[in-house]
Chains A and B, each alone.
Chain A
């Protein structure tokens, strides 16, 4: 248990929030995408977090298993399985025989709000890291 392992905890939080933000941006970018490699319109993706152990690479080499619990990780990426939104656009190349096009069911406002949440979460982890970095610096100053 050392202050250095706290840095790994903060870093795991930053990584998880960054991954969530990436998915949200992907959703926003693909809000009108009607063709995907899997076929059909794009489907909304979201990250699910779970608390996880963080490992400092040094600890494993050193053989001392530091108290590891406390980090966070993306446990799975959920793909929205709800029915796509059907809009009447007969001229569209992807329109079905009735003239309806299946568009991704993405609420841009919802994704923007989640994106703000991810960004604030990222900032909170950065503050945690800088507070701990300051504590480590104080300990180093004791040796001067």
Chain B
């Protein structure tokens, strides 16, 4: 990537999409008997070096229903919009960094 911050942003967006996939699969499995909510430890994964597949673990502290399923749609809905918003912010930041690079390329041409 262009510089260190852009690299970090890329990692952040990568992790957000991994997490969004888990949220989507939790929602898809909201009625699957015996299914347990899965998530990643966002902070720990972010501090780890890039390129590693994030570790998926089951979430504790959720109420298990009679069929052994512990998906809470409220939790997933919150994470779904949170991830989308965070991704939005990160992509705006990335855009402004790219704009900087682009203007450096284009403005330098005239000289």
Chain A nearest CB: distance from B87 CB in Å?
5
Q: Shortest CB–CB separation between residue B70 and chain A, in angstroms? A: 13
Q: Are A131 and B83 in contact (CB-based, < 8 A)?
A: yes
Q: Which residues of A are found within 8 Å of B88, using beta-carbon distances?
A: 134-135, 138
Q: Give A90 to B73 CA distance when docked, in angstroms.
A: 49
Asked if A84 is an interface residue, CB under 8 A from chain B, the answer is no
Assuming A70-B25, A72-B28, A142-B98, is B84 touching A49 (CB within 8 A)? no
Q: For chain A, give the interface size range.
A: 35 or more
Asked if B30 is at the interface (CB within 8 A of a chain A CB), the reply is yes
A22 to B89, CA, bound (A): 40
Given A135-B17, A142-B94, A12–B28 Cβ distance below 8 Å? yes
Which one of A2-10, A23-31, A37-45, A101-109 is at the B interface?
Answer: A2-10
Interface of A is mostly: helix
Interface residues of B in 1-23 (CB under 8 A from A): 13, 16-18, 20-23
Whether the pair B28, A125 counts as a contact (CB closer than 8 A) is: yes
Complex Cα distance A17/B78, Å? 21
Given contacts A51-B32, A125-B27, contact A139 B22 (CB under 8 A): no
Q: What are the interface flags for B74-105 relative to A under an 8 Å C-beta threshold, 1 for contact and 0 otherwise?
A: 00110011011001100100110010000000
Contact A127 B80, beta carbon cutoff 8 Å: yes
The reply to whether the CB of B68 lies closer than 8 angstroms to some CB of chain A is no
**Could you say which residues of chain B place their CB within 8 Å of the CB of A13?**
24, 27-30
* A141 contacts B by Cβ under 8 Å: yes
Q: Does A95 contact B (CB under 8 A)?
A: no
User: Chain B contacts of A59 at CB under 8 A?
Assistant: none
Q: Which residue of A lies closest to B28 (CB)?
A: A13
Whether B31 is near chain A, meaning CB under 8 Å from some CB there, is yes
Please provide the chain A residues from 34 to 70 with a CB less than 8 Å away from any CB of chain B in the complex.
48-51, 67, 69-70
Determine the residue in chain B with the shortest Cβ distance to A124.
B27
A-B contact pairs, 15 of them (CB 8 A): A13-B29, A51-B25, A70-B28, A71-B28, A72-B31, A120-B73, A124-B77, A125-B28, A127-B77, A128-B28, A128-B80, A131-B81, A131-B84, A135-B16, A139-B13
Residues of B that sit less than 8 Å from A by CB: 13, 16-18, 20-25, 27-33, 35, 53, 73, 76-77, 80-81, 83-84, 87-88, 91, 94-95, 98
Which 5 A-B pairs rank lowest in CB-CB distance, beginning with the nearest?
A13-B28, A70-B25, A138-B91, A49-B32, A128-B24
